[in-house]
Structure 1
Amino acid sequence: MAVEISNPAALHDPTGFGYSHVATARGELVFIAGQYDSDAEGHTTSADFATQVDNAFANLGIALRSVGLDFTDVAQLRTHIVDHDLEKLAVLGKKIAVIWGDEPPAQTLTGVAALALPRMLFEVDAVAVRG
């Protein structure tokens, strides 16, 4: 199979929302769907932006580890911030620095009016490379 789809048991079941958490293409490229501050049922847990960023990246780490990868394997991030401003950018920048130091992956940040669920303030998806 050219594409392998998986959903880590440690994350909520996303199929009811119309997506899967992880897709691996030809064993090399791994695509991680948008991760956010979600509980076991897929609901947001906090109204605080910084907490949502922390939890989204924690979930990204779970998705990566579920296929034997970690943050060092990430080549690209796409981040989405509701009502983007410089304060929120600073929060994101600090989190990126904690994870990747001075060698972050390529990133595209999009400021948006809303995300998939009403309380979502932040979402991150990633492309990682195996080997």
Structure 2
Amino acid sequence: MSTSFPTTASACDEMDKLTIVNPANLYDPSAHGYSVSVVAPTGGRVAYVSGQGGVDDNGAYSPEFAVQVKQAYANLGKVLDALDATPAQVAKLTVFVVDHDPSKLGVLTQTVAEMFGKTLPAQTLVPVPKLAIEPMLFEVDAVVVLP
């Protein structure tokens, strides 16, 4: 199954769209908050967003995983705003989860669905023993396609 979505709310030109490709002969990952692959349009510029952690505006980290995840995605949203981009322009996410276990997938899937809706980017989850600083429990980086 292949679907595409506009890179901006007003985009209607096929050349400005990312194309999601979830092959019919592979497991459909959309229920888990990601797509198998995303194809960028010809001529699109690419922005690579550094890992965003769950740090709030005061430089503090909540001890709760879910709070950090939501804050990290809010921080990613601020970067997208600064790039004059939308979540629909995110082609790829890489998430890093400290001490990952299956109980954390629900929080991740829900948060991604809230931000991206049905326009799910490709995504890789990497379990890690720790991140750059001790209070960090989660980090997300992104590849964004700009017109």
Superposition TM-score, scaled by structure 1 size: 0.75
SS across alignment from 2:139: strand
| 1:2-35: CA deviation from partner (whole Å, max 9, x where unpaired) | xxxxxxxxxxxxxxxxxxxxxxxx9710111000
Deviation above 2 Å: which 4+ runs of structure 1?
none
Please tell me whether residue 54 in structure 1 is matched to residue 65 in structure 2.
no
Q: Distance in 2 between matches of 1:114 and 1:44?
A: 17
Please tell me whether residue 71 in structure 1 is matched to residue 87 in structure 2.
yes
Please tell me whether residue 37 in structure 1 is matched to residue 54 in structure 2.
yes
Asked whether the 8 Å contact 2:61–2:136 carries over to 1, the reply is no
Q: Distance in 2 between matches of 1:102 and 1:118?
A: 34
Q: Distance in 2 between matches of 1:94 and 1:124?
A: 15
Query: Identity percentage over the alignment?
Result: 43
The alignment yields a C-alpha RMSD, in angstroms, of 1.7
Superposition TM-score, scaled by structure 2 size: 0.67
How much does 1:101 deviate?
Answer: 2.2
In structure 1, what residue type is equivalent to 2:118? D
Aligned residues: 105
Please tell me whether residue 106 in structure 1 is matched to residue 122 in structure 2.
yes
Q: Distance in 2 between matches of 1:44 and 1:120?
A: 10
Q: Which runs of 5+ in 2 are unaligned?
A: 1-42
Q: Distance in 1 between matches of 2:89 and 2:129?
A: 30
